[in-house]
Chains A and B, each alone.
Chain A
Amino acid sequence: MTDNVLSWMTFFPVAGMVVVLLLPHDRHSLIRWVSALATLPPLLLAIWLYANFDRTSSGLQFVEKAPWIPTYNIQYFIGVDGISISMVLLTALLSFLCIFASWGIDKGVKGYFALFLLLDTGMMGVFVALDFFLFYIFWEVMLLPMYFLIGIWGGPRREYAAIKFFLYTLFGSVLMLLAILALYFASEPHTFDMTQLIAQSGKYGTSALAMWPFDRWGWGFQHVVWMALFIGFAIKIPAFPFHTWLPDAHVEAPTAISVILAGVLLKMGTYGILRINYPMLPAATADLAYYFLGALGTWNIIYGALCAMAQKDLKKLVAYSSVSHMGYVMLGMASFTPQGINGAVLQMFNHGTITGMLFLLVGVIYDRAHHRDIDGFGGLAAIMPVYTGVTAVAFFASMGLPGLSGFISEVLVLLGAWQKYVILSILGASGVILIAGYLLWTIQRVYLGPVNEKYKSLPEINGRELFTLVPLGIIVIILGVYPHAILDLLRSSLDQLNQIVIPHLS
């Protein structure tokens, strides 16, 4: 089993899906437990992977390779390195916890858990795939379950949100498909193997194409491909102006799906840029990402925070805070400094855990009060003290309070960015004030103040809900004190990645 640990992690949930499909549809609790059992082995294997990952190596580890469609040089090629390991861990953890967060689903239980497990496989596959074709397949496999999970089990405007999510992401991914094909034909011999495509990165032309409008912009083949890939990934991040699907999808999706969406799916955008754009198209990255990506990230920070401040719906607030936090990832990535890029990937992991907590917490209160209106509560701290305590940890972590994980990654990002873009760093740092502003204001309105008589008898958070929240809370605290638990995994690969791009920066 240890020989192909990644395959097991990827395909175990799908095996679980098959079992779930064979179960009778009215055995609800059996289906739930089978699903939990299907996501447990990936989590255990993730822990094993964490223990056995070689922190000194910058290369790929746990590699598996087999021909799939030899005629077109398509392989089944998976593995992890520092860029993906943290995401693999995060996916395994959140998938397992979200099964428990979905316990309350009572409509179409069988379909829900079957789709959830398929989604799990798709997510894991994206992070481990090293063949471009395989990557694309996994990338698209996630779309369908997500569409149905939002569309069937979502809130009142679920249909609109689901199709909007679907159309946006499909548009991005077909652009990516064209880029994949272009790279395939540019490589010699034609290949989808990412490592080979990276090795041949010098071959992709950078001189301006004789095609309007690229001749006017001085864009070469590399730049066009870079932009096609970037738009595909930017939609997923979601970077301004492609972010509008996110608040809708988040608000309408059931709690567990919001967690997955914010915790894992958004990371695929930045992960894709790091995994593909940076090493495969380094010259174009240097030309296009420098400043542009940093500025876009800063804009995301400020814009997301301002939008969050204006929200009346608690879940929408958290959704916009994701837009804001993903801005730090982009800013850090664009700095091309060791601190910035390590901070960016750490921020991806931290945002996954923190926002996961936030969405779970919103779910807890929504299950009880059946609304999420920020102004409709008040004094919850007196009614639900434990719940409020956990919320405080998550909110303060999101705010970037020292001692909690969000602080470390944001500081690293700003440290890295300061070396390249002083103004952007100042703006990005002041975003922290905005974030603190809306979060504190929310705490004040929802948890403090006079008790709202209507909710006097709300039950305290229960054991199952605590079970989903506490592990994340512990990770948030540990990483706030000892960030090297994750940083050690990333460093060597990310430094090497940085070295690929830096020579091209003029």
Chain B
Amino acid sequence: MDLGNLESLKFFYPEIVLSGTILLLILFDLFIRNKRWLGLMAFLGCILSLVTTFQLYGMSPGWLFHHMIILDNFSLFFKVVSLLAALLVVWMSLGCREIREIHQGEYYTILLTSALGMFFMASSSNLLMAYLSLELVSITSYILTGFLPHNRRSTEAALKYLIYGGVASGTMIYGMSWIFGMTGSLDYARISEALFQGQTNHLALFMAFIFILAGFGYKIVFVPFHMWSPDVYQGAPTPITAFLSVGSNAAGTAILMRFFFPAVSRLGEGGDWLFISGVEWPHFLLMVSMVTMTLGNLCALNQQNLKRLLAYSGIAHAGYILMGLVVLNNDGLKAMLFYIVVYLIMNLGAFLVVVIVANETGKEEIGDYRGLAWRGAAIPAVCMAIFLFSLTGLPPLAGFVGKFFLFAAVIKQGFYLLAVVGIINSVISLYYYAGVVKTMFLDFPEPTDPQVTMTANTSALLGVLSTLTVLFGIYWGPLVHSLH
């Protein structure tokens, strides 16, 4: 299936619905007084788009818009992930005081635009398309990060993000130009053909890939392209931090895998990927993965600000997810996809608790969580403990199952060193996650610490996320099945 422009529209409903919602949001923002309706509209738009995405599931794979966009279950999976992230973040924003005080029309418009960009990141089959989609996501992210007016941290974070992003994407497009020079094409399928038959210079190829990885790595947040994340996580409005932590990571992983799979490798026998010879991918990725998780975890140990701590933990998790890529086969791929889903759930959950506490106290330092469980917020505290222990990877929570699959894929291929580094990192991460839990449960509050209460809206979302975290830890069969 290789369709032209007009025929492609039939298979483009999710994007069309989302774009329609975005346009309507801009329009309605002019007339509606009660801006809460805009959030609900965005929410409905996401649901509608989600429904249309599910309708496309299981179709035979094909190209849309003259080989620009690829439509297969892989891209649909990431569309679902992006939509779920957007959906949950819109829900979270509805219950967030920080967001209620700013221009909500623009906020939801840009948020959905960013999700739309992630759609294209997951489905582009052309370097140019990949670049454009990445930029769409980046630019919207810069704006969202700086969305809090008169907030120095927010502005600083946005600026920092912009500068880093500019450098990274500049490097990336430079690398793409090398690829174009060597293969004469921007289309993944043609690049692959040219690379597999041609006598390409390996060093040049390697350099080009490194340049491209700078762009992707900056989205996935792996070392050494991680510098922006702690500041951005801390400065951005919390729902946006949550969105970036899961959405940006997932979309970056998608674009990376997309690039790796059709462009520079082929599916070999037994689900292994065959690579262009001459470049030691597994070892290169292995190093990146190990350094990323270790650095993330070590830096997280001493953090005082919870959002910053979660930023470093996000870096560590990017390292874990990369473990699945190191093995370069379908087991690893499945493990990564599974991990991305559970990471989405548990990480959003953790940020939701940050929102709940910040709504009442306006603070995000770990010290402000002192005795949270004894301050009328036993339920958020227990849920936070569930999310954090799930991030650590303790059974019977979803995070354990995710790690279990990753380790299984790694051990099956005999990467024992990586597995050992991975588990040592899990133990290190327990220390800081448990530190937060300790503050919430083991410390007792001062009389001056404010009480924390939840609204019906946030408690419903909290219930959904924590139930899923436990459920996928005990019975995850159906979720795995849907990944096949």
Shortest distance from the beta carbon of B337 to any chain A beta carbon, whole Å: 15
Which B421-477 residues sit within 8 Å CB-CB of chain A? 423-424, 426-427, 430-431, 434-435, 438, 441-442, 475-477
Contact of A185 among B411, B426, B442 (CB under 8 A): B411
Is B170's beta carbon under 8 Å from chain A? no
Interface residues of A in 221-257 (CB under 8 A from B): none
**A163, A167, A177: the one within 8 Å of B407 (CB):** A177
A140-B423 CB under 8 A given contacts A151-B441, A152-B441, A162-B442: no
User: Quick one: closest A residue to B393, CB to CB?
Assistant: A174
Known contacts A163-B434, A181-B411, A69 near B476 by CB under 8 Å = yes
Question: Closest CB-CB distance, A299 to chain B, in whole Å?
Answer: 26
A467 at the A/B interface (Cβ < 8 Å)?
no
Q: Is residue B33 within 8 Å, beta carbon to beta carbon, of the partner chain?
A: no
A167 touching B427 by the CB < 8 A rule? yes
Given A69-B476, A159-B438, A178-B420: A171 touches B394 (CB 8 Å cut-off) = no
- Nearest CB on A from B417, distance (A): 9
User: By the criterion CB–CB under 8 Å, are B442 and A159 in contact?
Assistant: yes
Q: How far is the CA of A136 from the CA of B481 in the complex (A)?
A: 23
Contact residues in A for B394 (Cβ distance below 8 Å): 140, 143-144, 170
Contact (Cβ within 8 A) A175 B423:
yes
- Contacts A144-B389, A152-B442 known; A167 to B476 CB distance under 8 Å? no
The answer, yes or no, to whether A158 is at the interface (CB within 8 Å) is yes
Taking the closest CB of chain A, its distance from the CB of B303, in whole angstroms, is 17
Nearest B-chain residue to A70, judged by Cβ: B477
**Contact of A470 with B by CB under 8 A:** no
- Number of interface residues, chain A, beta carbon within 8 A: 31
Please give the distance in Å from B483's CB to the nearest CB on chain A: 11
A392 within 8 A of B: no
Residues of chain A lying within 8 A (CB to CB) of residue B416: 178, 211
- Which B residues are in CB contact (< 8 Å) with A151? 438, 441-442
> Known contacts A140-B400, A163-B434, A178-B419; is A171 also within 8 Å of B427 by CB?
yes
CA distance A178 to B423 in the complex (A): 8
A136 and B430 contacting across the interface, CB-CB below 8 Å: no
Bound Cα distance A174, B395 (Å): 11
Residue of A nearest to B410 (CB): A181
Cβ contacts under 8 Å, B407 to chain A: 177-178, 181
Please determine whether A71 and B441 come into contact, CB atoms closer than 8 angstroms.
no
Any B CB within 8 A of the CB of A278: no
Does B166 touch A at the CB level, under 8 Å? no
Q: Which residues of B sit under 8 angstroms from A136, Cβ to Cβ?
A: 395
Q: A71-B480, A166-B434 are in contact. Are A185 and B412 (CB under 8 A)?
A: yes
CB A119 to nearest CB in B, in angstroms, measures 14
Q: How far is the CB of A213 from chain B (nearest CB, A)?
A: 13
Residue B408 interfacial (CB < 8 Å): yes
Q: Which residues of B contact A137 (CB under 8 A)?
A: 395-396
Is A71 in contact with B477, judged by CB distance below 8 angstroms? yes
| Residues in A whose Cβ lies below 8 Å from that of B420 | 178
B281 interfacial contact with A, CB 8 Å: no
Check: A438 CB closer than 8 A to any chain B CB: no
Q: With A151-B441, A177-B404, A185-B411 given, is the CB distance from A69 to B423 under 8 Å?
A: no
Q: Is A112 an interface residue (CB 8 A)?
A: no
Q: B297-322: which residues lie under 8 A (CB-CB) from chain A?
A: none
Q: Is A147 interfacial (CB 8 A cutoff)? A: yes
Instruction: Return B308 CB to nearest CB of chain A, in Å.
Output: 21
Report yes or no: A148 in contact with B441, Cβ–Cβ below 8 A. yes
With A177-B404, A181-B408 as known contacts, state yes or no: A166 contacts B442, CB within 8 Å: no
Bound-state CA distance A144–B382 (Å) is: 12
A182 at interface by CB-CB < 8 Å: yes
Which residues from chain A contact B438 at a C-beta distance below 8 Å? 151, 159, 162-163
A167 touches B431 (CB 8 A): yes
**CB nearest to B476 among chain A residues:** A69
Is the C-beta of A141 less than 8 angstroms from some C-beta in chain B?
yes
Neighbouring B residues of A148 by C-beta, 8 Å: 441
With a cutoff of 8 Å between Cβ atoms, the chain A residues found around residue B427 in the complex are 167, 170-171, 174
| Complex contact A170–B480 (CB within 8 A) | no
Interface contact B423-A174, CB-CB below 8 Å: yes
A71 proximity list for chain B (CB < 8 A): 477, 480-481
Using Cβ atoms and an 8 Å threshold, which residues of chain A touch B419? 178, 181
Name which residue of chain A comes closest to B420, CB basis.
A178
Determine the distance from Cα of A141 to Cα of B473 in the docked complex, in whole angstroms: 12
Q: Nearest Cβ in chain A — how far from B374, in angstroms?
A: 8
The complex places the Cα of A70 from the Cα of B480 at a distance, in Å, of: 11
Please determine whether A182 and B411 come into contact, CB atoms closer than 8 angstroms: yes
Contacts of A182 in B (CB 8 A): 411
> Is A219 engaged at the interface, CB distance under 8 Å to the other chain?
no
Contact partners of A158 in chain B: CB under 8 A? 442
Expressed in whole angstroms, the minimum distance between the Cβ of A135 and any Cβ of chain B is 11
Instruction: Name, among A147, A177, A181, the residue most crowded by chain B CB atoms within 10 Å (CB to CB).
Output: A177
Within the complex, the shortest CB–CB distance from A137 to chain B, in Å, comes to 5
Q: How far is the CA of A159 from the CA of B443 in the complex (A)?
A: 9
- Picked from B400, B411, B477, the residue with its CB within 8 Å of the CB of A69 is B477
Please determine whether B431 and A163 come into contact, CB atoms closer than 8 angstroms: yes
Q: What residues on B are CB-neighbors of A70 within 8 Å?
A: 477
- Complex Cα–Cα for A137 and B398 (A): 12
A184 at the B interface (CB under 8 A): yes
In the bound complex, do residue B411 and residue A178 qualify as a contact, i.e. CB atoms below 8 Å apart? yes
Is the CB–CB distance between B408 and A184 below 8 Å?
A: yes
New A-B pairs, 12, CB < 8 Å, besides A69-B480, A147-B434, A158-B442: A68-B475, A71-B480, A136-B395, A140-B394, A141-B396, A151-B441, A163-B434, A166-B430, A166-B434, A170-B426, A181-B408, A185-B411
The 8 closest A-B pairs by CB, nearest first: A174-B423, A137-B395, A181-B411, A140-B395, A151-B442, A171-B427, A69-B477, A185-B412
Which positions in B face A, CB cutoff 8 Å?
Answer: 389, 394-396, 400, 404, 407-408, 411-412, 416, 419-420, 423-424, 426-427, 430-431, 434-435, 438, 441-442, 475-477, 480-481
Q: Which of A's residues lie within 8 Å of B, judged by CB?
A: 68-71, 136-137, 140-141, 143-144, 147-148, 151-152, 158-159, 162-163, 166-167, 170-171, 174-175, 177-178, 181-182, 184-185, 211
Interchain Cβ contacts under 8 Å between A and B, 25 examples? A69-B477, A71-B477, A71-B480, A137-B395, A143-B394, A147-B434, A151-B438, A152-B441, A152-B442, A159-B438, A162-B442, A163-B431, A167-B427, A167-B431, A170-B426, A170-B430, A174-B424, A174-B427, A177-B407, A178-B407, A178-B423, A181-B407, A181-B408, A184-B408, A185-B408
